[in-house]
Amino acid sequence: MQEPLFKTISPEDFVKLELDEVTLVDIRDPEEKAIPGLPGSIDVPFSQIGSKIDLVPKGKPVYVYCKIGELSDVVAEVLGDRGYEAYSVKGGYNTIWYLLEGGY
């Protein structure tokens, strides 16, 4: 069995990261952004991933988040296949935002 090309991270562990030491990629499409993304995130909407994936710089671990944590696996796998150290944030931005606002 082949090892996955990306890793996953829980939202609880994600919010503990030093965000200036990683690259954040927000793949939510514009209609999913009722809540703005995290500061410093690169916007690469999932619907445009094929044409904009080269906007993601190499050199730092890349953490990909979507709205609820499903599509980020797909993009993290593509990035991993291209040689990135890629992570998919489980639970997506909705869970991240909830934790940052003092939830759980």
Kindly state the percentage of the chain with pLDDT values over 90.
Answer: 71
Return d(Cα 8, Cα 35) in angstroms, integer. 23
Give me the phi and psi of 78, to 5 degrees please. Answer: -60, -45
Within its chain, how far is the Cα of 13 from the centroid? 13
Q: What confidence score (pLDDT) does residue 101 get?
A: 83
Q: pLDDT tens digits for 22-69?
A: 999 999 999 988 888 899 999 999 999 999 999 999 999 999 999 998
Please give the model's pTM, rounded to 2 decimal places.
0.91
Helix (H, G, I), strand (E, B) or coil at 25: strand
Percent of the chain scoring above 70 in pLDDT: 94
User: In the Cβ-directed half-sphere of 1, how many Cα atoms lie within 13 Å?
Assistant: 2
pLDDT score, position 103: 60
